[in-house]
């Protein structure tokens, strides 16, 4: 039996891709009683929630950093709990302080440590905001963040990453022992079969009027401002409907936009997974405008649902669009290009075919069971290694074959 323990400060009750990853991982381990899984979830109290004889959630007291996220910082408590559960693998899913917390808590224990590169934080959370102050400051911050990343991730037994572009960047920056681990999609839940004419009518769409969907947190890194700037031109050209689902600090900006623009609909945070899947399937295209995605679960869910993508030309989603021929690519944060390319997609008559291409690609290549089968094989190899030096230093890639 291999016992995997996930510790991740990026996990949030209202989170997106990270929460989806861990929830599907728990379901996978429930179906595999020969394995064991423990998730440390940041919370305001300590308790243990047993989901199955081999699957549990440890609610770990964390320090609140905003309304949605907490940081687990208590080293003695972490060490006590890791000693109690004695995992073979500890996967660290957030990059700032948590790697050092786990390194200290793991002293005297035998767990192999694996980092998962869920977020491109040197670019997303360091270079981008500092660069808004001054480009030179952004460059210095970016280099400093990569220095810090090397100091933390090179100490792990291995690092997991999902996309080719991320693998290449990590390797070029000197991080060894990288295993490519593409994630998955629930291809039964996210399917064109869940298209709901009533949902479409509820926002004023008929079969001939396209619906665009923005299923992301309302953040600048997700391309929110560029979309709001580009949308009036897109609307004037084709009168499509735009639906937002998500929460975040960009809500006041969206409210102001909705007050002056017709055919914009805001769903808030959609808690019901079935309803979210129905909104995907009832849309014709999805905006995936972040250049910082390390996999892009929402984009993969959109593809499985039969949606075309309008995506940034950098990051993991660019690989999806290029390989599947399922939409158009635009430079990040370029509102004029976003308007031009979206109108071009609508003018082309290729929107429906792009959605069908997306669905075919997702059904072929994105499947949670296959994703976790690959991951567990990597866990076993890492756990069996007597030291990190016994693992291959060069990246271990997985290819889609497309």
What does the block give as tokens for 266?
């805001």
* CA geometry: angle 96, 102, 106, nearest 5 deg: 160
Q: Who's near 333: CB < 8 A, 6+ residues apart?
A: 223, 225, 226, 291
Measured CA to CA, the distance from residue 212 to residue 207 in angstroms comes to: 13
Give residue 200's pLDDT: 95
In 246-364, the DSSP E strands lie at 264-266, 285-288, 308-312, 327-330
Q: How far apart are CA 222 and CA 52, in angstroms?
A: 36
Give the pair of three-digit tokens for residue 116.
């998962």
Q: pTM of whole model > 0.85?
A: no
Q: 192: Cβ–Cβ under 8 A, 6 or more apart, which residues?
A: 281, 305, 306, 355, 359
Token look-up 């499947």 returns 367
278 and 302 in contact (C-beta within 8 Å)? no
How many other C-beta atoms lie within 10 A of the C-beta of residue 339?
22
Which residues in the chain come in under a pLDDT of 50? 401-402
Residue 1 has a CB neighbour count (10 Å cut-off) of 9
For residues 367 and 259, the answer to whether their CB atoms sit within 8 Å is no
Task: Tell the residue number behind the tokens 């440590």, with chain if given.
Answer: 113
Rounded Cα distance, 359 and 319, in Å? 15
What is the reported pLDDT for 387? 86
Report all structural domains of the chain as residue ranges with CATH numbers, in order of start.
3-184+368-390 (3.40.50.2000), 192-365 (3.40.50.2000)
Strand partners, 287: 310
Q: For residue 30, how far is the Cα from the chain centroid?
A: 22
Alpha carbon distance 196, 183 (integer Å): 27
Q: 63 in helix, strand or coil?
A: strand
Q: Return left, alpha or beta for 71; rule: phi > 0 is left, psi -120 to 50 is alpha, else beta.
A: beta
* Distance between CA atoms of residues 330 and 289, nearest Å: 8
246: nearest Cα among 198, 279, 295: 279
* Residue 349 exposed, middle or buried by CB count within 10 Å (0-12, 13-18, 19+): exposed
Residues 302, 280: Cα–Cα separation, whole Å:
6
pLDDT at res. 77? 97
- Tally: H helices and E strands in the chain: 16, 16
Long-range contacts: 105-109, Cβ < 8 Å, 24+? 105/75, 105/78, 105/79, 106/79, 106/82, 107/79, 108/83, 109/79, 109/82, 109/83
Nearest-angstrom CA–CA distance, 154 and 168: 15
Percentages helix, strand, coil for the chain (3-state, rounded to 5) are: 45, 20, 35
**How many other C-beta atoms are found inside a 10 Å radius of the C-beta of residue 388?**
17
Instruction: Give the DSSP letter string of 255-268.
Output: HHHHTTSSSEEE--
- Count other C-beta atoms under 10 Å from residue 84's C-beta: 10
Phi, psi of 157 (to 5 degrees): -60, -40
Cβ atoms 62, 70 nearer than 8 A? yes
Structure tokens at 87: 């995992």
């Amino acid at each position: 039996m291999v016992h995997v323990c996930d510790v991740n400060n990026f996990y949030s009750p209202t989170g997106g891709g990270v929460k989806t990853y861990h929830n599907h991982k728990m379901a996978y381990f429930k179906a595999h009683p020969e394995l064991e899984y423990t998730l440390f979830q940041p919370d305001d109290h300590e308790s243990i929630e047993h989901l199955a004889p081999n699957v549990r959630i440890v609610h770990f007291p964390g320090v609140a950093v905003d309304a949605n996220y907490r940081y687990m910082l208590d080293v003695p408590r972490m060490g006590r709990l890791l000693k109690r559960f004695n995992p073979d693998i500890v996967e660290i899913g957030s990059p700032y302080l948590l790697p050092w917390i786990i390194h200290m808590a793991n002293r005297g224990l035998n767990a192999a440590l694996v980092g998962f590169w869920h977020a491109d934080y040197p670019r997303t959370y360091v270079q981008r905001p500092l660069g808004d102050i001054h480009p030179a400051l952004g460059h210095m911050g970016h280099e400093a963040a990569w220095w810090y990343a090397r100091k933390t991730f090179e100490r792990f037994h291995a690092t997991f990453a999902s996309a080719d572009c991320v693998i290449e960047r990590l390797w070029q920056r000197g991080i060894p022992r990288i295993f490519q681990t593409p994630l998955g999609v629930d291809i039964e839940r996210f399917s064109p079969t869940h298209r709901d004419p009533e949902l479409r009518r509820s926002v004023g769409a008929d079969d001939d009027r396209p619906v665009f969907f923005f299923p992301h947190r309302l953040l600048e890194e997700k391309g929110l401002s560029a979309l709001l700037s580009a949308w009036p031109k897109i609307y004037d050209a084709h009168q499509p409907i735009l639906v937002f689902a998500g929460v975040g600090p960009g809500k006041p900006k969206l409210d102001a936009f909705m007050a002056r623009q017709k055919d914009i609909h805001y769903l808030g945070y959609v808690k019901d997974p079935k309803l979210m899947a129905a909104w995907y399937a009832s849309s014709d295209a999805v905006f995936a405008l972040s250049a910082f995605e390390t996999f892009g679960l929402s984009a993969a869910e959109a593809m499985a649902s039969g949606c075309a993508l309008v995506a940034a030309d950098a990051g993991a989603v660019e690989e999806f669009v290029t390989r599947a021929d399922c939409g158009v690519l635009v430079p990040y944060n370029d509102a004029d290009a976003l308007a031009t390319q979206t109108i071009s997609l609508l003018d082309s008559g290729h929107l429906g075919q792009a959605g069908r291409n997306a669905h075919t690609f997702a059904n072929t290549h994105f499947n949670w069971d296959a994703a976790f089968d690959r991951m567990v094989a990597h866990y076993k190899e890492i756990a069996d290694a007597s030291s990190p030096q016994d693992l291959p230093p060069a990246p271990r890639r997985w290819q889609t074959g497309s």
